[in-house]
Amino acid sequence: ISSVVLGLVLARSQYNELLGLLISTLYGGCVVLLLSGLSLGVGWDGLYQAFYRLLTWLADVVNSGINQDDLVFTMLVSSLFWSLGYYLAWHLFRVDRVWRAVIPPALILISNSVYYTGDANLEPYLIAFVFLVLLLIVRSNLEAREWEWYVNGIRVPRRLRRQVFAIGTVLALIVLVAAWIVP
């Protein structure tokens, strides 16, 4: 959540993309390292141990060794999710590109549902994701149209946004049900 909030703040700021990316990377790395250190112990000792295990893992990677440290794997996955959250907020609120925000998490979710061999059913997560993406597309398209209407001086009814969302929700549900029924 904090990566999305930081991405929103940086997207609404005057910083350029490179500076926003650097700030998010530094802040995200510190947050991941701090939370990893707190999971190992309170104080500087846990932070030192997390940093030491990360450096040991990097040394093993450079020297073609094998290191299967669970903490470093967790740190790498946390960094990946931090990046996804930041990019989601940046591409939605700065450049208004929905597909750039949606495709990376969709690929991760689809690959997990395809290659997952456990007992848990991942289909409800995929269905919820597709439903929310469809609503996000409705919202993005409506905002683009509202801006065009505003620039051209076209008056819009007050309840239009609510009506479009209601119709978009119904259409998204129809699409999901149709996709579920079709083999």
Q: pLDDT digit string (tens) for 51-68?
A: 999 999 999 989 888 888
Overall average pLDDT of the 3-31 stretch: 92
Asked whether the beta carbons of 176 and 127 are under 8 A apart, the reply is: yes
CA distance 178 to 15: 44
How many other β-carbons are positioned within 10 Å of the β-carbon of residue 88?
21
Rg (CA), the chain: 21
Q: pTM of this prediction?
A: 0.79
Residue 174 has pLDDT above 90, yes or no: yes
DSSP 63: T
Tokens in use for 128? 């919820």
